[in-house]
Structure 1
Amino acid sequence: MASNGFRPLDEQYLLEYIKATPVLAQKLGNQFDDLQIKEVGDGNLNFVYIVLGRSGSFVIKQALPYIRTIGESWPMTKERAYFEARTLREHRRLCPDHAPEVYHFDHGMCLIGMGYIEPPHIVLRKGLVAGNEYPLLAEHISDYMAKTLFFTSLLYLTTTEHKRAVAEFCGNVEICRLTEQVVFSDPYKVSQYNHWTSPYLDSDAEAVRQDNILKLEVAELKSKFCERTQALIHGDLHTGSVMVTRNSTQVMDPEFSFYAPMGYDIGAFIGNLILAYFAQDGHANEGNDRKAYKLWILKTIEETWNLFHKKFTTLWDEHKDGPGEAYLPEIYNNAELQLLVKQKYMTDLFHDSLGFGAAKMIRRIVGVAHVEDFESIAEPGKRANCERQALNVAKLLLKERRKFQTISEVVSAIVLQQPQS
């Protein structure tokens, strides 16, 4: 049943497909009675089905040839499914505790069969909207980022290995162009797909489009994003791409993956936590002012970077005499020089992360695709007030990111943006 031709899935055809695909049928113990198939794709691009049987379960994800939320007027390559499957397998190899297993990939159908991240896991973004704390989140996500980024960089790989991988992932060019458009271009010009909480943010959106310094800074970030092949990034590491419980963190949906600046992943995650922070006032009520929860988010932002820094540099120390060709031991051959190299690398990475995170925040407020954190605030005036505070922090971080030396300074700037009650 797996064919070279593409056909969009529906529940009946998916059942036929599963029966005819041995690896999937075996996951269900070849038992198809009372099989539950439910389409749950609530994202922008794909079909996602949960398949539950008495003897097993899995998720089927199919890439469509257009952006699902827009329709066929915005075509999109189906080839992204190949790169997603490829990255899921690589990230599972490097960090098995925090990436689902791939059971099956059908290139012609652009279809991935993978492990089902079972309840009580929920999408992290939904948990943040609900005000749930996840005490191990920073520990887990820093582990995922440190391992996936370090082991796919020249700090660990030879230039031959690295260039071979870069060449392969250059094939994901169309999905990269989508990022270039919606993150680095559309928010800074008049675009048919842009929207915001109007009329409340009309002047704020116009201010973004008229800010020359902001445009200079985002041009530099776009150049890095397009030209710098630092590591294999997830490419869309926001809080909607992470499933969590209090004890587990699973990262999914790396269809935007390619070789790019590490700071894009780190910034995307931290930037989305900052959005969640500013959304909390919109979700507060008489029974819960969310003040304690906001402090937890700030703590998680700080711990995420600090733990990442510690784990990443520890991996660097452990493999400093390994195959990586970024800093050859015979050149960087004394402790003082090695420390200087590491300090510069991590400072540059920190500033990249702040810049990319800020760009991701801006596009979520005045660009095409917004976030549930804000969109679920029913009263538009209240929502706009939360968004404006986040937008102001994003512009500050983007334009002045090099002035920040520690994540605690960033947290202080976030707090200062909110009016004190």
Structure 2
Amino acid sequence: MAAAADGFRTLDEKSVVDYIKATPTLHAQLGNQLDGLVVKEVGDGNLNFVYIVVGPAGSLVIKQALPYIRCIGESWPMTKERAYFEALALKEHGRWSPDHVPEVYHFDRPMSLIAMRYLKPPHIILRKGLIAGIEYPLLAQHMSDYMAKTLFFTSLLYHSTLDHRHAVAEFCGNVELCRLTEQVIFSDPYRVAQYNRWTSPYLDHDAEAVREDDTLKIEVAELKSNFCERAQALIHGDLHTGSIMVTGDSTQVIDPEFAFYGPMGFDIGAFLGNLILAFFAQDGHADKGNDRQAYKQWILKTTEETWNLFQKKFISLWDEHKDGNGEAYPVSIYNKPELQLLVQKRYMAGLFHDALGFGAAKMIRRIVGVAHVEDFESIADASKRAYCERRALDFAKMLLKERRRFQSINQVISAIQEIPAC
């Protein structure tokens, strides 16, 4: 494909090799042995091309953003500049959580292209592991660590207001991806929209009920305001189980192209909400050999541990750096231990309720909105799929509307466990 006026051209498996040969940084990463490179396009997401490149002396991944949404086509244009913000976010989050973010080797802004570390097998997408019923004993530990560090160290608890505003301004340019999030999460599920879909006819009434639920709409409006107006920390912006690659002892967060300075609870809620979706999907994957009951309990235990560990680690970072440059609660003002504890308690309660709200909104949109999850989509029997989806949807609606009555993650888990089996 010929280069556009801005220097952009879409690569394919052959031209990726030519690109690597013309880029010294990438030859070095491949040990300067370019004969026998194997290139495979593996992008199964909604937006981009992703190429795995393996050579005799090294490997890497090349990701290229397209000027439209891949899963829809050219009828839904999308800025290529999202690659710039993804590269920035990978570097910034990698700075604070290097064990859980793949290293960036090269970024080409005109080509909207990022080259980064290849997460070799047996790494798989977490969502696929959850569908397969695989337990990851370190998942809660790793994800709580990633979220605590990336959110704390990019917030006013750590930064001065001057540094924070500069960082916020840098990411303000990621407007199209934020706009997309606003549309598909906070707007489209609550109205008749072109790309909405659900398991019809089974969920026709359920989708209509979402569109007619005034209380739900009022709560979603509040969350949307929070999402649009609150520059709390550098969030990943799309932290679902399809944006995480795992093995038994490794957890790597990928694809932060939706990154911007927004509410911390959006990332936490996205992860927890997707775990809860995986829980509700398990009945659709059960068979005579495995009823998935034990695995469902493991998912709930992981959900509970993730929040509890996150809270503990986040407060620990806050305590450790309370005398630093952070200007949210200067020690010269918040100078009594009991006042510090009161501030932390109020802050974490607000963050918890934000996470529950955003998590519930993410669950709803995955059932009656545009982009669904493989957890449900891979259930071949439509009636069984709809049964699982309805239970998830009903829980998400309750959680969104009643999130403030929950004071701990344990209470949320208990509410899930109390849902009667049908």
TM-score computed with the length of structure 2 as normaliser: 0.98
Please name the residue that 1:235 is paired with.
237
- Contact 1:284–1:290 at 8 Å: present in 2 too? yes
Please name the residue that 1:119 is paired with.
121
Please name the residue that 1:23 is paired with.
25
From 208, 211, 214, the counterpart of 1:212: 214
CA distance in 2, matches of 1:28, 1:407: 46
CA distance in 2, matches of 1:30, 1:355: 50
Q: How many residues align?
A: 420
CA distance in 1, matches of 2:419, 2:173: 41
Task: State the Cα deviation string for residues 306-331 of structure 1 (Å, max 9, x = none).
Answer: 00000000000000111000001111
Matched, 1:369 2:371: yes
Alignment of 1:320-339 (within 5 A): 320-339=322-341
Q: Which amino acid aligns with 1:166?
A: V
Please name the residue that 1:185 is paired with.
187
- Contact 1:267–1:355 at 8 Å: present in 2 too? yes
Please name the residue that 2:197 is paired with.
195
Matched, 1:268 2:273: no
1:153 alignment partner, SS class: coil
- With 156-165 and 22-31 compared, the bigger mean Cα shift is at 22-31
Alignment of 1:15-164 (within 5 A): 15-164=17-166
- Contact 1:2–1:17 at 8 Å: present in 2 too? no
1:197 alignment partner, SS class: coil
- Contact 2:3–2:9 at 8 Å: present in 1 too? no
Q: Which amino acid aligns with 2:199?
A: T
From 378, 401, 410, the counterpart of 2:380: 378
CA distance in 1, matches of 2:176, 2:257: 11
Alignment of 1:287-302 (within 5 A): 287-302=289-304
CA distance in 2, matches of 1:24, 1:344: 48
Q: Which amino acid aligns with 1:316?
A: W
Please name the residue that 2:353 is paired with.
351
- After TM superposition, give the deviation of residue 92 of structure 1 in Å: 0.8
Q: Which amino acid aligns with 2:189?
A: P
- Contact 1:2–1:20 at 8 Å: present in 2 too? no
TM-score computed with the length of structure 1 as normaliser: 0.99
- Contact 1:65–1:77 at 8 Å: present in 2 too? yes
Q: Which amino acid aligns with 1:295?
A: Q
- After TM superposition, give the deviation of residue 414 of structure 1 in Å: 1.1
Please name the residue that 1:175 is paired with.
177
CA distance in 2, matches of 1:228, 1:29: 45
2:193 alignment partner, SS class: coil
- After TM superposition, give the deviation of residue 8 of structure 1 in Å: 0.5
Q: CA RMSD in A?
A: 1.1
- After TM superposition, give the deviation of residue 417 of structure 1 in Å: 2.2
Task: State the Cα deviation string for residues 81-114 of structure 1 (Å, max 9, x = none).
Answer: 0000000001111011000000000000000000
Task: State the Cα deviation string for residues 198-244 of structure 1 (Å, max 9, x = none).
Answer: 00000000000000000000000000000000000000000000000
Q: Which amino acid aligns with 1:122?
A: I
- Contact 1:389–1:418 at 8 Å: present in 2 too? no
Alignment of 1:244-259 (within 5 A): 244-259=246-261
Percent identity (aligned): 75
Please name the residue that 1:411 is paired with.
413
Alignment of 1:275-314 (within 5 A): 275-314=277-316
Task: State the Cα deviation string for residues 128-173 of structure 1 (Å, max 9, x = none).
Answer: 0000000000000000000000000000000000000000100000
CA distance in 1, matches of 2:58, 2:311: 39
Task: State the Cα deviation string for residues 339-388 of structure 1 (Å, max 9, x = none).
Answer: 11000000000000000000000000000000000000000000000000
Gaps of 5+ in 1: none
Q: Which amino acid aligns with 1:289?
A: D
Q: Which runs of 4+ in 1 moved over 2 A?
A: 1-4
1:2–1:327: structure 2 CA closer, same or farther, 3 Å change rule?
farther
Gaps of 5+ in 2: none
CA distance in 1, matches of 2:201, 2:45: 26
